[in-house]
Structure 1
Amino acid sequence: MESDIIEIGICLLDLKSGEISDNKGVLVKPERSTIGTFCTELTTITPEMVAQDGISFIEACTLLKKQYLSQSYPWASFGAYDMKQFQRQCSATDVGYPFSPSHINVKTLFALKKKLDHEHGMAGALELLDLPLEGTHHRGVDDAKNIAKILNWILNN
């Protein structure tokens, strides 16, 4: 089986005010794999949730481009994994990459800003900032919000 994206976390961060104006998760139906026990334990996403509320990967990419103008703005993730996963899945499924080339690696920026000797995971970064981890770790919707909080700290400190 190939790894498929099963949730896209969206969180819009107003860079001036630090406010989060939108936070949602888009469930994506896997096309090249199935959701196994390990994945459900990690994310809490079940095959039934995706079957009921999920959309295809191409529909999710179209949503990002049309509703969020994702090709016009920089986007951020914690590390490069999500960017590479999008690139791999887009290439494998012949779907246009939905993001602009401007990617912000919040994990690296955080380590540089805090002058750390190594990069920390998202939960560790929140702990270093004394910020609570909101929601379920590894759920796209919740991770997006937590990453936005870290990015906001980087930009304003």
Structure 2
Amino acid sequence: MKTTDHILIIDLEATCWNDRPPRGQESEIIEIGVCIMDVKTGKISKNEGILVKPQYSRVSPFCTELTSITQKMLDEEGVFFDDALDILRAEYDSEDLTWASYGNYDLTMLKNQAKRFNLDYPLSDDHINVKTLFGEVHPTIRKSVGMSRALGELNFKLEGTHHRGVDDAKNISKILYWCLQNY
């Protein structure tokens, strides 16, 4: 893993349904929550949620209830996936920084969607799975737990809206910083 003073933290939200996707639709990234954490201080910089217009699906009522993201928001404020990847590269040095996510879902989803859209993968190969790291470092939790439970175990408040990438990226940073201090 690269030695780094800053870690890029990413949390994705994707189209989802209460049951199966409607015919012809598939899960796609609709938000890339991102922030940069200073490894020494835990301070966050450049936090944003990049809204992404889905090309092969629509936001379901279930998805809106879970994430608070609406199809209208994406239609009006979203960018295309390739533009979102360009933002990660240009504004977050995503190909050079070590990056972290809570679990492997984000890693897999980004790789798969980049491949599906025939785009270059936008992140470095240096990835920290914060979910796994937390299970290794926490003195009593020795299994995978969700982000909300991990925050609770550390007596940290879940800030913002759970299942909004912009907020969850900051919450993940708190867990990661604790892990790095206690590793």
Q: Does 1:155 align with 2:180?
A: yes
Structure 2 matches for 1:115-130, cutoff 5 A? 115=139, 116-130=141-155
Take 1:20 and 1:140, find their aligned partners in 2: how far apart are those partners? 14
- Distance of 1:75 and 1:65 partners within structure 2: 12
Instruction: Choose from 50, 61, 73 the match for 1:49.
Output: 73
Long gaps (5+) in structure 2: 1-24
* Aligned with 1:35 (options 56, 59, 69): 59
1:102 and 2:122 are equivalent in the alignment: no
AA at the equivalent of 1:97: Y
State the Cα deviation string for residues 5-57 of structure 1 (Å, max 9, x = none).
00000111001121111211000000111111111111000001111110000
Match of 1:8 in 2: 32
Q: Which residue of 1 aligns with 2:101?
A: 77
Q: Partners in 2 of 1:34 and 1:14 — Cα distance?
A: 36
TM-score (normalised: structure 1): 0.97
Q: Mind listing any 5+ residue stretches in structure 1 that lack a counterpart?
A: none
What is the SS of the residue equivalent to 1:45? Answer: coil
What does 1:83-98 correspond to in 2, within 5 Å?
83-98=107-122
- For residues 95-142 of structure 1, give each alpha carbon's deviation from its aligned partner in whole angstroms, at most 9, with x where no partner exists: 111100111100000000014231100000000000000011110001
Q: State how far apart, in whole Å, the 2-side matches of 1:26 and 1:117 are.
A: 33
Letter in structure 2 aligned against 1:50: L
Structure having the higher helix fraction is 1
**Structure 1 residue runs of 4+, over 3 Å off?**
none
- Tell me the equivalent position of 1:137: 162
Task: Give the Cα separation in 2 of the matches to 1:125 and 1:102.
Answer: 23
Residue of structure 1 in register with 2:91 after alignment: 67
* RMSD between superposed Cα atoms in Å: 0.8
Specify the SS of the correspondent of 1:10. Answer: strand
